[in-house]
Chain A
Amino acid sequence: MSVPCGADNFFYCPVKLSGNAHNPTEKLGEQKGKVIMKEQLLAIKKSAEEKLAVSSSLQELEDLRVSVLGKKGELTQVLRQMGGLSAEERPVIGALANEVREAVESALTERKTILLAKAREEKLAREVIDVTMAGKKPEIGGLHPITKVLDEVKNIFLGMGFSIAEGPDVELDYYNFEALNIPKEHPARDTQDTFYVSDNVVLRTQTSPMQIRVMEHAKPPIRIIAPGRVYRSDAVDATHSPVFHQIEGLVVDKGITMADLKGTLEQFIKSLYGQDAKIRLRPHHFPFTEPSAEVDVSCFVCGGKGCRVCKGEGFIEILGAGMVHPDVLRRCNIDPDEYSGFAFGLGLERIVMRRMNIDDMRHLYENDVRFLKQF
């Protein structure tokens, strides 16, 4: 093919080309001009396509676009020579020029898409991270384990229609003892090493005074739990604390029976420990309930077979309960011939410690952050 400028040197001889382009006065023979222009156009196309094929950057593409299709680009310059063509030849060459333009544009777009994809791949390759490295955790604190378990217990009872009552830690002797059938000099006072503020004011030794405070103000039906701090004169060690938490429960209504007590506790225990948990009631004595019971729950480690945790018993004592003593009801102006009720009390720390496998009660009140962060 006879071409004035070879494809290879087409782009490298812009001066020569532009010399042609900037020399519109040069007279070409019409037929000769048409042939040359056609060849030039095809050469532009071929050269652009070849260049595109080896282009490796978006900048190269842009440069190519400008040098071919730009205002001063080769194509434009060739087209400027159209003036020298005849009216019949012009549309032919014009169509060819458009064809070339479209072909180059489309090749450019195609190449751009490929290069973009390649560039993205390279970027992604550069962005590789070690996904096994530690995440950046937001600091979000945590509730105390006692609060967590207490919330669980509260929610179980809320779901059973119980409300939550609250009362003072510093309590009148009357509520803590007298009203609960524990008069002064009652032997039961010995077992509850009481902190005294004065002759008639104590730090409550149990949450049971809440029974009285609630019954004095509410009329049956009553269904409450009363969680709170209680105080006993026990030195601090792995299993004792002078401050600990109890949860009292009280139900008073017409026709409340021991079977209701058992059913309610069973539902509570199953909610807390799972549907397989069983309870066992044993006779016991509390001054303010009659009959009274100690309640054991099947050991959640061995499921009742007997193990180290339950000392081979299969059961673990977790709460005290009973039917509200008629004298207690009477003292709160509730007629025991019309109403009956049950009450129960459980120690929260023991449940928390067993649940979370905590071996020393002191951890609960020392607030070592290394401890607190575990829950």
Chain B
Amino acid sequence: MKLPLSWLSDYTDMSGITPEEYNHALTMSGSKVEGIENIGDKIQNIVTGKILSVEKHPDADKLKVCMLDVGTETLQIVTGADNVKPGQTVPVAKDGALLPDGTKIKKGKLRGVESNGMLCSYEEIGMTKEDFPDAEYGILILEDGLPLGKDIKEVFGLDNPVVEFEITSNRPDCFSVIGLARETAVTFNRAFNVKTPEVKGSGDDINNYMKITVSEPELCKRYTAKMVKNVKIGPSPAWMVKRLQSCGIRSINNIVDITNYILLEYGQPMHAFDMSYLEGNEINVRRARDGELMTTLDGEEHTLDSSMLMICDGKKPVAVAGVMGGLNSEVREDTKTVLFESATFLGSSVRITAKKLGLRTESSSRFEKGLDTENTYPAVMRACELIEELGCGEVVDGIIDVYGTKPKKVTIKFEPERINEFIGFCVPADEMVKTLTDLGFTVDGDVITVPTFRPDVLCFNDIAEEIVRMYGYDKIPSTLMDGDTTVGIKTYSQQIEDRVKNTLVGCGLYETLVFSFTNPNIFDRLNMPGDSVKRNAVVITNPLGVENSIMRTTAIASMMEVVARNENFKAEQVRLFELGKIYIPKEGEDLPEERRVVTIGMYGNCDYFDLKGVVEVMLDDLGIAKRSFEPEKTNSTFHPGRCANLIAGGKTIGTIGQIHPAVAENYGISSDVYVAEIDFEDMLMLAKTEKTYKKLPKFPASQRDLALIADDSVLAAQIENIIKKKSGNIFENLTLFDVYKGNQIPENKKSMAYSLVLRDENKTLTDEDINPVIESILKELSSKLDVTLR
């Protein structure tokens, strides 16, 4: 809400308060000031001056040389304007003057003749045609008799700081001059006065002309109307135009301006109907009929529905209640009789209607917040007072006021001690009473009655806030909580999360963060089967775009996007991980299951085994020793020969492998990409992170190398399982140190060289101990896998 500070002076004493002080004080008492603008700050050194003489420029036909008396001196100024004559008083920008558009005026020579300034038009001093409807083209001619040398800002009141407030939604009363004046007065501890509007009237009775029915009392709590006849439509006086302009509202004509003036001053939206267009001498506040059409003031035609509350005459809708008037009944140049509407509509109803029609107006945004029904009467009376003040019509006696149930009085117990405890510093009870009273509350003993314009105040905390904001949040001391000590500790799950992240960082991976929602096309891009359960995702009904329209069910797609982006940026080698959620819809439940997954992605100077190594380090750290990697040939996202399922705890907890080149291509990636996606929740269940000391060996280990020949189809894991099993409790370690195909190795076979380390806890192993073990290993390898010694 924008408001010229000068308007506040109508209600409270603003003397001696600088805009800066005002800004700070109001912000600290709860009406946040966004900024203060003052056109006057941009105007400097422009004063009134009297033209003493006008002579032709010796060397230029279109220029004139004027002598001006600016009070303290006489200045010679060259002008190009035609409308200057001796004796006139005009605005003079002296040497060094500043115009509102930023222009600086400097003395100089025009065609050889000295010019010590500039004579100004109204535009050049930041004013408009509306300010001077009768002004002719050229230099602005001021009224005679003005003191010479007077600052032009004073002449036109251009020193007019306009404050922009950020009003919170709980304070509809502060969307008005009166509301902010009340806040201002209490903040600065000054008197606050609102006059009751006085309307003389002109006889007759509105009831002779109009009948008003409210068919929807739930949606229209009060409908108050006054009538004005013999209306003289015309421009509003300059002071009113200026106030409206300062608040960002354009002047239309005196009647419309009055309704807008009341909107600002009282915070009560009003509407003026041209009564000659109201058919049947009646107003009915009813719901629209489905499909009913109406054209609003802005010329737009709308199709209505029965959720919308309309102001109708005997036949047709004439206004969308609380939102905008209809074109069919607007006030025009020839309007003679006006009906002023001042009503209270239900906020939520106005909000929905405005949203549906795409019309958010000054009026609707106020109604949405819930307005005080008690305000309609003074507001409409003030409008009539202005009619009489401006002399633009005759106010018909009588008022139509359809008022359903009056708002209930809200009372709250006054507990000054509890308030002081709650806010942490001491305000004397009698000062609290004064503050509350100044804010419009009544305090009677220990009962506070809340004024109707403060629907936000309902309980103890609200009263405490009224006190603390007026005495200053800066007075609240800083204390530390008493009471039972609590232990701050991360949960097991949080600790494991940290642990996994740190391990992966230690493996050289960088953590990524990505969006949780994604594009439904990822399933096709990842080449997932049409019937994949992963395709069942949580769908956002109002996404920003299709690319963010479902909650992800896999994190691989996000990783692929990140990888693609980095490849595109020419990163040669990339090692990344993410620990984030996927969202799995659950049948019959509102909320999906949110599972954390660890996703690893890499390319450049790496292969499947680099990826697997990182996964193994992570699993080792978590103590998940019982695990296996089983070849997975059917996962169409991955290379069919370079993909494995990670099995632990009797289930698949992850997939690792090289991304299928076709999928990589879908992401525009030309490198071989290696990705793992592992369920964090499963790892969490399986983790055994309690580590205990195992005695260091006392006896030496024995190492044997086994060079084996195996079919290509035999897996290392199969061989290793046999070796481990047959080694029994003297097994210590097994390393595959060479795999070879080629010369001296038969077709479809491979040579695999293992280094086996055996150790007995209790003695030094001898050949007699080891040889039988090796024999049994070889026997089992041969019989089960047809693997032989090379």
User: A: which residues have CB within 8 A of B?
Assistant: 138-144, 146-147, 151, 154, 157-164, 166, 168-172, 184-185, 187-188, 190-191, 195-198, 200-201, 203, 221, 223, 229, 231, 233, 235, 242-243, 251, 253-260, 262-264, 266-267, 280-285, 287, 290-294, 323, 325-327, 340, 364-370, 372-373
Question: B544 near A282 (CB under 8 angstroms)?
Answer: no
Chain A nearest CB: distance from B547 CB in Å?
Answer: 10
The answer, yes or no, to whether B447 is at the interface (CB within 8 Å) is no
Contacts A/B (CB < 8 Å), 18 sampled:
A141-B511, A142-B505, A157-B488, A158-B490, A168-B591, A170-B591, A170-B594, A184-B348, A203-B517, A255-B483, A257-B422, A260-B481, A262-B424, A282-B27, A283-B468, A284-B32, A365-B514, A367-B513
Whose C-beta in chain A lies nearest to the C-beta of B561? A367
Chain A nearest CB: distance from B415 CB in Å?
Answer: 11
Chain B nearest CB: distance from A349 CB in Å?
Answer: 10
Question: B543 near A195 (CB under 8 angstroms)?
Answer: yes
Across-interface contacts of B348 in A (CB, < 8 A): 184-185
The answer, yes or no, to whether B634 is at the interface (CB within 8 Å) is no
Question: B473 near A146 (CB under 8 angstroms)?
Answer: no
Cα–Cα distance between A196 and B29 once the two chains are bound (Å):
36
Across-interface contacts of B169 in A (CB, < 8 A): 187-188, 191, 285
Interface residues on B, range: 35 or more
Report B580-602 residues with CB < 8 Å from chain A CB: 581, 583, 590-592, 594
Question: A280 near B425 (CB under 8 angstroms)?
Answer: no
Name, among A159, A168, A170, A280, the residue most crowded by chain B CB atoms within 10 Å (CB to CB): A170
Question: A326 near B461 (CB under 8 angstroms)?
Answer: yes
Across-interface contacts of A160 in B (CB, < 8 A): 488
Question: A233 near B542 (CB under 8 angstroms)?
Answer: yes
Known contacts A195-B540, A200-B590, A291-B468: A221-B477 contact under CB 8 Å:
no
Instruction: Point out the residue from B422, B423, B478 that lies within 8 Å of A266, measured CB to CB.
Output: B478
Question: B461 near A143 (CB under 8 angstroms)?
Answer: no
Cα–Cα distance between A184 and B348 once the two chains are bound (Å):
9
Chain A nearest CB: distance from B636 CB in Å?
Answer: 26
Across-interface contacts of A262 in B (CB, < 8 A): 424, 476-479
Known contacts A185-B348, A195-B543, A196-B540: A282-B481 contact under CB 8 Å:
no
Question: A259 near B477 (CB under 8 angstroms)?
Answer: yes
Known contacts A253-B483, A369-B566: A144-B512 contact under CB 8 Å:
yes
Cα–Cα distance between A149 and B464 once the two chains are bound (Å):
35
- Interface membership of chain B positions 158-179, coded 1 if the CB is closer than 8 angstroms to chain A and 0 otherwise: 0000000000111100000000
Whose C-beta in chain B lies nearest to the C-beta of A154? B490
Question: B352 near A163 (CB under 8 angstroms)?
Answer: no
Across-interface contacts of A370 in B (CB, < 8 A): 569, 571
Question: A323 near B491 (CB under 8 angstroms)?
Answer: no
The answer, yes or no, to whether B574 is at the interface (CB within 8 Å) is yes
Known contacts A141-B506, A258-B468, A283-B473: A291-B32 contact under CB 8 Å:
no
Across-interface contacts of B538 in A (CB, < 8 A): 170, 197
Question: B571 near A285 (CB under 8 angstroms)?
Answer: no
Instruction: Point out the residue from A158, A254, A369 that lies within 8 Å of B510, measured CB to CB.
Output: A369
Instruction: Point out the residue from B423, B491, B511 that lies within 8 Å of A143, measured CB to CB.
Output: B511
Chain A nearest CB: distance from B285 CB in Å?
Answer: 20
Chain A nearest CB: distance from B564 CB in Å?
Answer: 11
Question: B27 near A367 (CB under 8 angstroms)?
Answer: no
Question: A242 near B566 (CB under 8 angstroms)?
Answer: no
Chain B nearest CB: distance from A275 CB in Å?
Answer: 13
Known contacts A168-B591, A365-B515: A285-B170 contact under CB 8 Å:
yes
Known contacts A161-B485, A185-B351, A368-B565: A141-B473 contact under CB 8 Å:
no
Chain A nearest CB: distance from B133 CB in Å?
Answer: 40
- Interface membership of chain B positions 385-425, coded 1 if the CB is closer than 8 angstroms to chain A and 0 otherwise: 00000000000000000000000000000000000011111
Question: B541 near A340 (CB under 8 angstroms)?
Answer: no
Report B463-502 residues with CB < 8 Å from chain A CB: 464-465, 468-469, 473-474, 476-491, 494, 498, 501
Question: B566 near A367 (CB under 8 angstroms)?
Answer: yes
Across-interface contacts of A188 in B (CB, < 8 A): 169
The answer, yes or no, to whether B213 is at the interface (CB within 8 Å) is no
The answer, yes or no, to whether B38 is at the interface (CB within 8 Å) is no
Chain A nearest CB: distance from B600 CB in Å?
Answer: 11
Across-interface contacts of A162 in B (CB, < 8 A): 486, 488
Whose C-beta in chain B lies nearest to the C-beta of A364? B513
Across-interface contacts of B371 in A (CB, < 8 A): none
Instruction: Point out the residue from B29, B30, B490, B508 that lies within 8 Å of A140, measured CB to CB.
Output: B508
Cα–Cα distance between A373 and B509 once the two chains are bound (Å):
10
Cα–Cα distance between A214 and B94 once the two chains are bound (Å):
69
Across-interface contacts of B576 in A (CB, < 8 A): 367, 369, 372
Across-interface contacts of A373 in B (CB, < 8 A): 510
A196-B540, A198-B541, A282-B32 known, 18 other contacts, Cβ within 8 Å: A139-B575, A141-B505, A162-B488, A163-B489, A169-B583, A170-B551, A170-B583, A196-B541, A203-B517, A257-B421, A259-B423, A281-B473, A283-B473, A291-B465, A325-B461, A326-B460, A364-B513, A373-B510
Question: A369 near B574 (CB under 8 angstroms)?
Answer: yes
Whose C-beta in chain A lies nearest to the C-beta of B579? A147
Question: A185 near B512 (CB under 8 angstroms)?
Answer: no
The answer, yes or no, to whether B504 is at the interface (CB within 8 Å) is yes
Question: A251 near B481 (CB under 8 angstroms)?
Answer: yes
The answer, yes or no, to whether B687 is at the interface (CB within 8 Å) is no
Question: A365 near B482 (CB under 8 angstroms)?
Answer: no
Known contacts A188-B169, A283-B465: A164-B491 contact under CB 8 Å:
yes
Question: A161 near B488 (CB under 8 angstroms)?
Answer: yes
Cα–Cα distance between A293 and B465 once the two chains are bound (Å):
10
Question: B424 near A259 (CB under 8 angstroms)?
Answer: yes
Question: A281 near B539 (CB under 8 angstroms)?
Answer: no
- Interface membership of chain B positions 531-555, coded 1 if the CB is closer than 8 angstroms to chain A and 0 otherwise: 0000000111111100010010000
The answer, yes or no, to whether B218 is at the interface (CB within 8 Å) is no
Chain B nearest CB: distance from A238 CB in Å?
Answer: 16
Chain B nearest CB: distance from A312 CB in Å?
Answer: 11
Across-interface contacts of A169 in B (CB, < 8 A): 516, 551, 581, 583, 594
Across-interface contacts of B565 in A (CB, < 8 A): 366-368
Known contacts A196-B541, A283-B473, A367-B576: A170-B369 contact under CB 8 Å:
no
Name, among A168, A187, A267, the residue most crowded by chain B CB atoms within 10 Å (CB to CB): A187
Whose C-beta in chain A lies nearest to the C-beta of B548? A242
Question: B465 near A259 (CB under 8 angstroms)?
Answer: no
Question: A198 near B494 (CB under 8 angstroms)?
Answer: no
Question: A285 near B478 (CB under 8 angstroms)?
Answer: no
Across-interface contacts of B456 in A (CB, < 8 A): 285
The answer, yes or no, to whether B28 is at the interface (CB within 8 Å) is yes
The answer, yes or no, to whether B429 is at the interface (CB within 8 Å) is no
The answer, yes or no, to whether B238 is at the interface (CB within 8 Å) is no
Question: B590 near A340 (CB under 8 angstroms)?
Answer: no
A-B pairs, top 8 by smallest CB distance, nearest first, are A259-B424, A291-B465, A139-B508, A285-B168, A283-B30, A185-B348, A263-B478, A158-B488
Across-interface contacts of B422 in A (CB, < 8 A): 257-258, 323, 340
Question: A260 near B488 (CB under 8 angstroms)?
Answer: no
Cα–Cα distance between A164 and B169 once the two chains are bound (Å):
32
Known contacts A142-B511, A258-B468: A187-B590 contact under CB 8 Å:
no
Across-interface contacts of A142 in B (CB, < 8 A): 505, 510-511
Name, among B460, B510, B514, the residue most crowded by chain A CB atoms within 10 Å (CB to CB): B510
The answer, yes or no, to whether B191 is at the interface (CB within 8 Å) is no
Question: B479 near A260 (CB under 8 angstroms)?
Answer: yes
Instruction: Point out the residue from B369, B494, B511, B548 that lies within 8 Å of A164, measured CB to CB.
Output: B494
Known contacts A141-B575, A266-B478: A147-B501 contact under CB 8 Å:
yes
Across-interface contacts of A366 in B (CB, < 8 A): 562, 565
Cα–Cα distance between A283 and B476 once the two chains are bound (Å):
12
Report B431-475 residues with CB < 8 Å from chain A CB: 456, 459-462, 464-465, 468-469, 473-474
Cα–Cα distance between A187 and B170 once the two chains are bound (Å):
9
Whose C-beta in chain A lies nearest to the C-beta of B563? A367
Across-interface contacts of B476 in A (CB, < 8 A): 258-259, 262, 281
The answer, yes or no, to whether B4 is at the interface (CB within 8 Å) is no
Across-interface contacts of A264 in B (CB, < 8 A): 480-481
The answer, yes or no, to whether B745 is at the interface (CB within 8 Å) is no
